[in-house]
Structure 1
């Protein structure tokens, strides 16, 4: 049987603040299978972003075991973790973090060039993704010339450019108004499902969580598993 894309066992994370120990994650277990989109719910300060940082191998200091695409993160040095992120993961944040001096298609081409893809192939892939997100007429526009929703669509395309097995999204439409958020999030889900990627999406929005395959909640540093948000 294929191993899950994400496998967490006993994940912990603590901080010292003012001489006081704060346990943010207190033994998190989680599997995410290929093609599965999981909502990570919890109020602000519950540790959602910390958990995403752990899964994304973006910082150290975690206890327990993290395995991504069958690879145990503990066996990797810094360059190995970077390679794993580049080859297997895509990231979408609340703020798009696009490069302001590059247009939409260039922002989606760049991560592919870093991964070693030929420019012509990268441009075709970028145009395909941006067109699927309704931006066929905006390929040569810079971020400052795009609306907030359009900028976030470019960020989604960039995250999927290298066909990642796993997409990590932290409040991916949290900076948009409700109507735009609904449209962009629907497009995000459709594209991720069409690509066959797994995804872990941190949100505080129960309505958006209900549109995903499964919901997990962070509560007092532990993960509570459930089905759909309205189950």
Structure 2
């Protein structure tokens, strides 16, 4: 078996609230293999977002091992974590978080420029991804001119722009109606598989979860 794209061992996270300690993650263990798409299932408030933030190296306060693409991220400096995140991870959120003053193609080009890609190459890559998602005729439209489903497709293209080994998605269709959510998820999964990336997709929707390769459940801070 190839080296895991992400490996968590005894991952823990607690918060203090009103003098009370709340254990959100209580020893999470997980491995995701190259090309594997895993659903992270659990009700709202179960700690799914906290777990994704840990894997995404977006905040501190965690204990345990977080290994990304063979690198132990747990003890890296802030700059090294930023580089690891930029080079190996992509993110899709429930709300698209597109830059409102930039059109669709520019929203997908920008993260590539930040990563050092040439402008022409970045534009070609953005056009390729957006066209694959059915937005070839909407490249010049700004977010306010796109439907909710179209905006989320742009967010998916942005997440995959730098060819990440792992895409982290937090309720990526949670803000869409059922029919649109189905279409966007189908296109998302097809594109991720076509790119050869892995994905961890947090959801509370069991029907959508079972369209993925594997389902893990977060219950009382532990994966089952």
Q: Where does 1:59-208 land on structure 2 (aligned, <5 Å)?
A: 59-208=59-208
Q: Structure 1 length normalisation: TM-score? A: 0.96
The residue number in structure 2 matching 1:211 is: 211
Aligned to 2:221: 221
Question: Aligned partners of 1:208, 1:2: CA distance in 2, in Å?
Answer: 27
Any idea what SS the aligned residue of 1:74 has? coil
What are structure 2's unaligned runs of at least 5 residues? none
Please give the alpha-carbon distance, in whole angstroms, between the structure 2 residues aligned to 1:126 and 1:24. Answer: 37
What is the DSSP-based 3-state SS (H/G/I as helix, E as strand, rest coil) of the residue aligned with 2:74?
A: helix
Please tell me whether the aligned partners of residues 64 and 74 of structure 2 are also in contact (alpha carbons under 8 angstroms): no
Counterpart CA distance in 2 for 1:200 and 1:139 is: 27
Structure 1 partner of 2:44: 44
Structure 1, residues 18-46: CA drift from partner, whole Å, max 9, x if none?
10010000000000000000000001110
How far is 1:61 from its partner? Answer: 0.5
- What's the CA shift string for 1:118-161, capped at 9, x where partnerless? 00000000000000000000000000000000000000000000
Deviations 1:105-129 (A, max 9, x none): 0000000000000000000000000
In 2: Cα distance, 1:131 partner to 1:220 partner? 41
C-alpha distance after superposition, 1:43-67 (max 9, x if no partner): 1110000000000000000011100
Q: Distance in 1 between matches of 2:104 and 2:182?
A: 21
Mapped partners of 1:14, 1:22: distance in 2 = 5
Q: Which runs of 5+ in 1 are unaligned?
A: 225-231
The count of aligned residue pairs is 224
> Counterpart of 2:23?
23
Cα distance between partner residues in 2 of 1:180 and 1:69: 33
Once the two structures are superposed, residues 155-201 of structure 1 have per-residue CA deviations (whole angstroms, 9 ceiling, x without a partner) of: 00000000000000000010000000000000000000000101000
TM-score (norm 2): 0.99
How much does 1:2 deviate? 3.0
Question: How many angstroms does 1:99 deviate by?
Answer: 0.3
